[in-house]
Structure 1
Amino acid sequence: MTHTTAPKYGPALIGALGLLSMVAPLATDMYLPGFPLVSGDLQTSQASVQLTLSLFMLGMGGGQLFWGPASDMLGRRRPLLVAGALFVVSSLFATMSPSIVWLCIWRFIQGFSGCAGVVIGRAIARDVSHGVQLARLFGFIGIVNGLAPVLAPVAGGLLIPHIGWRGVLWVLTCVAVLMLLASVFVLGESLPPTGRVRGGLREVGSMLGSVMRDRSFIGFTLMQVFGFGVLFTWISSSSVVLQLVYGLDERQFSLCMAIFAVGTLAAGVLNTRLVRRLGMWRLLVTAVVFQACCAVVLFVVVSATDAGTGSSAPALWALLVLVSLAGAPFPVIIANSTALGLGRQRRGAGIASALMGASQYALAAAVTPMVTITGSISLHTVVAVMLACALVAAFAALLCTKESRTLHFG
């Protein structure tokens, strides 16, 4: 494929965009089980190690606000390649960090550069497909987005005892190289010069204002962001809850997360099969309402057992079932909310994609302080944050106009 050839809808495009969307879970969740080792190796506190996660998420969120508009002005390919090269370099240096300060610096740069694949990948999908085809494309990417955050800690739990936390970062460096190769050889330029923003920052600001005034786009974004909040709250806290509250070791923890992955995989596959028959809006609303109902039940069960003390926490099987049900709808939510939201933004898809992504990772960066508001992570606090996110996602559906719900199925 040459740099002037737009990518075609097919397995190669789906695979390349799916790979680019795995940046965040691979760069964060895969080394979550190694947090205690990072603390000991670099002689620092757990709070400082947790900061590497927050800074990565901050870079992911802020970087999207840079790379998204840049791709609308310069085309998709050049920013994607520059960011991909920077992601490889920062990943390499992160593996050799001599102190927690340097690890924090390189992790922030990782997030800032790695997010380009996510935000520009969504814009590329919008450039080359529309309607049901766009929904199915985001459906396949949604499966990756739902599975990767769950399976990454499983992989980390299996790898860290053998190769350590630095070894996991070396694995990430290899994946970064694969992402760059996919950008070079699979993802050609999808935005022709005639479709680019030519008015500079003034036009970017005007388009940003237009997107922000789109009530339905805001509704779809909030459903996606807070639906992700439910999933991320559990994933970011699961190692503490399962290993400290329930006393599981690394392998048992990995097994529990693998069980959690089954639900997200099933929901993602079901979404790709039903979207043409039922439509994006119906699937989206069903998913956010189902997630909210599961979160309510989970909160009631945990509250009834006074799980904050850990002495009378609900049975592990009950917790896993309820958490899996609450997290399973995420692939459905992200696929259909993204397709419906970006489908409204033909021009300036990079800017719209940046707003979606930046909001998502801003919430992710805020999750850690929310779940530790009592001074430490407790199961009761975790499920309370999950419930709050699920309810916001469900009520956000009220912002979407009737016209926006059927936009792509006429």
Structure 2
Amino acid sequence: MILVLGALIALGPLTIDMYLPALPAIAEDLNTPSSAVQLTLAGTLVGLALGQLVIGPLSDIVGRRLPLIVGTGVHILASLACIVAPNIAVLGGLRVIQGLGAAAAAVVAMAIVRDLFSGRAAATVLSRLMLVMGVAPVLAPSLGGAVLLVGSWRLVFAALAIMGVALMTLAIVSLRESLPPERRRASGVMPVLRTYRSLLRDTQFVVLVMVAALAMSALFAYVAGSSFVLQEEFGLDEQQFAIVFAAGAISLIGASQLNVLLLGRFAPVQIVLSALSFGVVAGAIMVVLAVTEVGGMAGFVVPLWFVLGAVGFVMPNAPALALSRHGEAAGGAAALLGAAQFGLGAIVAPIVGALGNDAIAVSTTMVATSAAALIALGSVTVLSARR
């Protein structure tokens, strides 16, 4: 079960990360600036965000399996269409549709976790899922780099289509319905709107969602700018970039697994507060080294790994804290969570490009989002203590 859910959640990161080594090649082949190519990444995140807002509540109404199967089918078709995209505008539009399809896998998997687990148990399961899901950002750029050795960037999307078919088959064969008819919500637009209104009235839920989204945005800032920083600024080739990117992902995965042990001694909110504080300090060091150009690539990469490690502690705990507040609307809650994470990522990714796509732009954006997450969590912690 956990392996299947992890594979489904991994579809989003695979869709985002696998083509990262090809971004400079896409810019050259389609004769477009790097900032425009970066918008295709933002488009994917927009699709992931919007898709979850629709598919999450829909899965509360019709069950988990049907939206999952249809969504992965959409992802497969969009991936195939990306292979023949004639220009950056068409590619960007198809990436939005691709994100919409991947959203089904992500939000349904999260809702299934909430159907079956709650509280610390949910945080523990999410940490286990992070290990499975974490393989995606480790392998995706390496797989993309390997594909580029034998073909053009278009072949990357053929590989994504094949993976989509494999995941759809796995879901059909392995996943049973986790939401029986008697636990489903009423159909129609108004029940969906009432669900969202109820969720958005919960201040602590909203703040916890923003903490998760801001922490994830630090990761997306790195994803958006890493290929340009490491390949163009520091001179790595596509395969070397994949290795460095994988090392950062391993830092994130290691932290998420250490989190399982820490949950036996500390509350999730304590872990998140400590991790964000550490991440802000490491991020500030990264900014200073980038501005002063001290340490070269090591001055960028080493503190970056510590920031990613901090994110690895936040990613399983903040969502678990948020989702634990609304078990009766797990699909809608997971949808708002995912929409906030990917929607904010869609805003952050172009900001990195606008700031210059360099080490300073990436490090500044990462520390800013981490600091904002720390402030948000601090505020909700103070409010809870006063009550």
Aligned residue in 1 for 2:232: 244
Change (3 A) 1:282 1:147: farther
1:356 aligned residue (329, 337, 350): 337
Aligned residue in 1 for 2:160: 172
Report the more deviating stretch, 337-346 or 270-279: 270-279
Q: Does 1:138 align with 2:126?
A: yes
Q: Distance in 2 between matches of 1:152 and 1:313?
A: 30
For the 8 Å contact 1:216–1:399, the answer to whether it is kept is no
Question: What's the TM-score once normalised by structure 2's chain length?
Answer: 0.93
1:204-240: per-residue Cα shift (whole Å, max 9, x none)? 2122111112122122212211111111111211111
1:144 Cα deviation from its structure 2 partner = 4.0
Change (3 A) 1:284 1:47: closer
Pairing of 1:324-363 with structure 2 (within 5 A):
324-363=305-344
Change (3 A) 1:388 1:371: same
**SS of residue in 2 equivalent to 1:400:** helix
For the 8 Å contact 1:64–1:115, the answer to whether it is kept is yes
AA paired with 1:282? Q
For the 8 Å contact 1:151–1:257, the answer to whether it is kept is no
Report the more deviating stretch, 160-169 or 53-62: 160-169
1:90-142: per-residue Cα shift (whole Å, max 9, x none)? 22222233443432332221111111110111011100112332111111222
AA paired with 1:167? L
2:366 aligned residue (386, 399, 410): 386
What root-mean-square deviation, in Å, do the aligned CA atoms of Structure 1 and Structure 2 show? 2.1
Report the more deviating stretch, 54-63 or 86-95: 86-95
Identity of aligned residues (%): 34
Whose helix proportion is higher, 1 or 2? 2
Q: Distance in 2 between matches of 1:402 and 1:16?
A: 38
Q: Distance in 1 between matches of 2:199 and 2:76?
A: 32
Change (3 A) 1:378 1:386: same
1:403 Cα deviation from its structure 2 partner = 10
1:371 aligned residue (332, 352, 356): 352
AA paired with 2:241? F
Aligned residue in 1 for 2:203: 215
1:146 Cα deviation from its structure 2 partner = 4.4
Q: Does 1:233 align with 2:221?
A: yes
1:48-100: per-residue Cα shift (whole Å, max 9, x none)? 43232221111111111110111111111111111122222222222233443
1:338-383: per-residue Cα shift (whole Å, max 9, x none)? 1111111111111111111111111111123312334x32221221
> May I ask how many residue pairs the two structures share in their alignment?
385
Q: Does 1:159 align with 2:140?
A: no
**SS of residue in 2 equivalent to 1:328:** helix
1:187 Cα deviation from its structure 2 partner = 1.7
1:267-286: per-residue Cα shift (whole Å, max 9, x none)? 12211222123232222222
Q: Distance in 2 between matches of 1:35 and 1:24?
A: 17
Q: Does 1:294 align with 2:275?
A: no
**SS of residue in 2 equivalent to 1:278:** coil
**SS of residue in 2 equivalent to 1:191:** coil
AA paired with 1:315? G
For the 8 Å contact 1:340–1:404, the answer to whether it is kept is no
1:311-360: per-residue Cα shift (whole Å, max 9, x none)? x4532223211000011122321111111111111111111111111111
**SS of residue in 1 equivalent to 2:357:** coil
Q: Distance in 1 between matches of 2:25 and 2:368?
A: 32
2:380 aligned residue (400, 403, 406): 400
1:147 Cα deviation from its structure 2 partner = 4.8
Unaligned runs of 5+ residues in structure 1 are: 1-12, 306-311, 406-410
Change (3 A) 1:223 1:384: same
1:285 aligned residue (246, 268, 273): 273
Report the more deviating stretch, 175-184 or 197-206: 197-206
Question: What's the TM-score once normalised by structure 1's chain length?
Answer: 0.88
AA paired with 1:362? G
1:236-261: per-residue Cα shift (whole Å, max 9, x none)? 11111111211222232222223223
Q: Does 1:90 align with 2:78?
A: yes
Q: Does 1:316 align with 2:314?
A: no
AA paired with 1:336? N
1:191-216: per-residue Cα shift (whole Å, max 9, x none)? 12222211632222122111112122
For the 8 Å contact 2:39–2:92, the answer to whether it is kept is yes
**SS of residue in 2 equivalent to 1:190:** coil
